[in-house]
A = this chain, B = another copy of it.
Amino acid sequence: MPRVGLNQQAVVREAARLADEVGFQQLTLAALAGRLGVALPSLYKHVRGADGLTQKLAALATAELANDMTSAAVGRSGGDALRAMADAYRDYAHRHPGRYPATQRVPDPADPEHVEAGERAVGAIFAVLRGYGLTGDDAVDATRALRRALHGFVTLEAAGGFGLPRDVDRSYRQLVASMDISFRSWPASDG
């Protein structure tokens, strides 16, 4: 029995690749083990079963997405920053259709890297909102609104949920434009 020499990182990275190829839902331990050239139960030496694997995948994907969003916004502000970040978000979902769904998982408090990645993602949005003069509770609400809008879009897009015949890129630009308007005239916090 020649050793393959796996470790957790190698397993999770391969899982990410596989997920992008076959889809998040189709990511199975059996397929992953086959890809890595080991028997299925061997994976348990590296990750805590199927759930542990998806949690680690979530941590990886969240970190990647946070990176992309941050780099997109750097050196920009206001509507420019918003558009750049929104594009980076959608791009990531397109480039990594299998990893993207994992980013929606609530960070595991027991995994510091996961928690940190989540905070960086939120922080990137916060930074953009500061350009609109939004801070404190307003920024919290606005962050939620933006996350929802972006996530909702790419999810429905991926599901083919846009039955209505309308150019999708354009819809996205419209969405971002409307968020821009919302943020500029954000309802007063005591509303």
By a beta-carbon cutoff of 8 Å, the part of chain A in contact with chain B is: 104, 106, 118, 122, 137, 140-141, 143-145, 147-149, 151-153, 156, 159-164, 166, 170-171, 173-175, 177-179, 181-182, 185-187, 191
Contact = CB atoms under 8 A, between A and B. Distances in A.
A83 to B, nearest CB: 12
Q: How many copies of this kind of chain does the complex include?
A: 2
A140 B161 contact: no
Contacts of A140: 164, 166, 171
A166 B136 CA distance: 10
Given A178-B187, A186-B178, A187-B181, A149 B149 contact: yes
A143 B156 contact: no
B141 A148 contact: no
